[in-house]
A and B are shown apart, each in its own frame.
Chain A
Amino acid sequence: MWTGFPLFPEAASTVAGGVDALYWFVIAISVFFSAGIFAAIFYFALRYSRKSLDEVPKPIHGSLALEITWSVIPFLITMVMFGWGTSLFFRNFHPPEGAMEIFVTGKQWMWKLQHPEGQREINELHVPVGRAVKLTMATEDVIHSFYIPAFRVKKDVVPGIYSSMWFEPTKPGKYHLFCAEYCGNQHSGMIGWVHVLSEPDYEAWLSGAPRGETMAQAGERLFQRLGCFTCHRADSPGRGPVLEGVFGSTVQLENGVKVVADEVYLRESILKPSAKTVAGYRTQMPTFQGQISEEGLMQVIAYIKSIARQERMNTPQ
Chain B
Amino acid sequence: MNAALAPPPSAPPPAETPTHYLNANYGFRSWMFTLDHKRIALLYLASITLFFFIGGFYAVMLRLELVTPAGDLMSAENYNKSFTMHGVMMVFFFLIPSIPAVLGNFLIPLMIGARDLAFPRLNLLSWYIYMAGGMLTLYAMVAGGVDTGWTMYTPYSTTYSNSHVMVMAVGIFINGFSSILTGLNFIVTIHKMRAPGLTWFRLPLFVWAHYATSVIQVLGTPVIAITILLVALERGFGFGFFDPKLGGDPILFQHLFWFYSHPAVYIMILPSMGVVSELVTCFSRKKVFGYKFIAMSSVAIAVFGFLVWGHHMFVSGQSIYAGMIFSFLSFLVGIPSAIKVFNWTATMYKGSISYHTPMLYVFGFIGLFTIGGLTGLIVANLGLDVHLHDTYFIVAHFHYIMVGGAVMGYLGGIHFWWPKITGRLYPEGWARFSALVLFVGFNLTFFPQFLVGYLGMPRRYHAYPEEFQVFNVMSSAGASILGLGYLIPMIYLTWSWRYGKLAPPNPWGAKGLEWTTPSPPTTFNFEETPVVTEEAYAYAQEQETEESH
Cβ of B381 within 8 Å of any chain A Cβ, yes or no, is yes
Cβ of A84 within 8 Å of any chain B Cβ, yes or no, is yes
Interface stretch of the complex, out of A59-67, A122-130, A219-227: A59-67
Partner of A6, one of B324, B343, B384, B467: B467
Q: Is the beta-carbon distance between B387 and A40 smaller than 8 angstroms? A: no
Q: Is the beta-carbon distance between B353 and A45 smaller than 8 angstroms? A: yes
Q: Is the beta-carbon distance between B160 and A184 smaller than 8 angstroms? A: yes
Q: Taking CB as reference atom, which chain A residue is nearest B287?
A: A59
User: Which residues A4-32 have CB closer than 8 A to chain B?
Assistant: 4-9, 18-19, 22-23, 26-27, 29-30
Partner of A34, one of B315, B339, B374, B378: B374
The answer to whether A150 and B456 touch (CB under 8 A), given A4-B467, A30-B374, A41-B363, is yes
For residue A297, give the distance in angstroms from its CB to the closest CB of chain B: 13
Residue in A38, A48, A75 with the greatest tally of chain B CB atoms within 10 Å: A48
Give the number of A-B contacts (CB < 8 Å): 284
Q: Is the beta-carbon distance between A33 and B374 smaller than 8 angstroms? A: yes
Q: Taking CB as reference atom, which chain B residue is nearest A191?
A: B465
Cβ of B526 within 8 Å of any chain A Cβ, yes or no, is no
User: Which residues B447-478 have CB closer than 8 A to chain A?
Assistant: 451, 454-456, 458-467, 469-470
Q: Is the beta-carbon distance between A55 and B345 smaller than 8 angstroms? A: no
User: Which residues B287-318 have CB closer than 8 A to chain A?
Assistant: 287, 289-293, 314-317
Q: Is the beta-carbon distance between B387 and A188 smaller than 8 angstroms? A: no
For residue B138, give the distance in angstroms from its CB to the closest CB of chain A: 23
Q: Taking CB as reference atom, which chain A residue is nearest B537?
A: A59
Chain A residues in 8 Å Cβ range of B543: 56
For residue B448, give the distance in angstroms from its CB to the closest CB of chain A: 10
For residue B235, give the distance in angstroms from its CB to the closest CB of chain A: 13
A103 to B331 Cα, complex, angstroms: 36
Q: Is the beta-carbon distance between B377 and A30 smaller than 8 angstroms? A: yes
Interface stretch of the complex, out of B189-197, B241-249, B261-269, B405-413: B241-249
Chain A residues in 8 Å Cβ range of B338: 70-71, 74
Q: Identify whether the interface residues of B are mostly helix, strand, loop, or mixed.
A: helix
Chain B residues in 8 Å Cβ range of A159: 155, 243-245, 250
Cβ of A153 within 8 Å of any chain B Cβ, yes or no, is yes
Partner of A89, one of B284, B349, B386, B460: B386
Interface stretch of the complex, out of A141-149, A232-240, A254-262, A300-308: A141-149
Partner of A74, one of B160, B335, B466: B335
Cβ of B72 within 8 Å of any chain A Cβ, yes or no, is no
What is the total number of residues of chain A having a CB less than 8 Å from a CB of chain B?
Answer: 91
Partner of B320, one of A6, A85, A89, A150: A89
A153 to B366 Cα, complex, angstroms: 33
Partner of B245, one of A93, A147, A289: A289
Chain A residues in 8 Å Cβ range of B77: 185
Residue interface mask B340-379, A partner, CB < 8 A = 1: 0111011011111111000000010011001100110110
Residue interface mask A58-102, B partner, CB < 8 A = 1: 111111001100110011001101101111111011000000000
Partner of B383, one of A74, A89, A141, A182: A89
Q: Is the beta-carbon distance between B287 and A156 smaller than 8 angstroms? A: no
Q: Is the beta-carbon distance between A70 and B342 smaller than 8 angstroms? A: yes
Q: Is the beta-carbon distance between B391 and A180 smaller than 8 angstroms? A: yes
Chain B residues in 8 Å Cβ range of A50: 285, 352-354
> What 9 A-B pairs have minimum CB-CB distances, sorted nearest first?
A149-B456, A160-B244, A88-B383, A85-B381, A89-B382, A85-B383, A30-B374, A188-B461, A62-B290
A-B contact pairs, 23 of them (CB 8 A): A19-B383, A19-B387, A37-B341, A37-B366, A48-B349, A57-B351, A59-B538, A60-B286, A66-B342, A67-B339, A79-B331, A85-B381, A86-B328, A86-B382, A89-B383, A143-B250, A147-B390, A159-B244, A180-B391, A184-B80, A185-B76, A185-B77, A187-B76
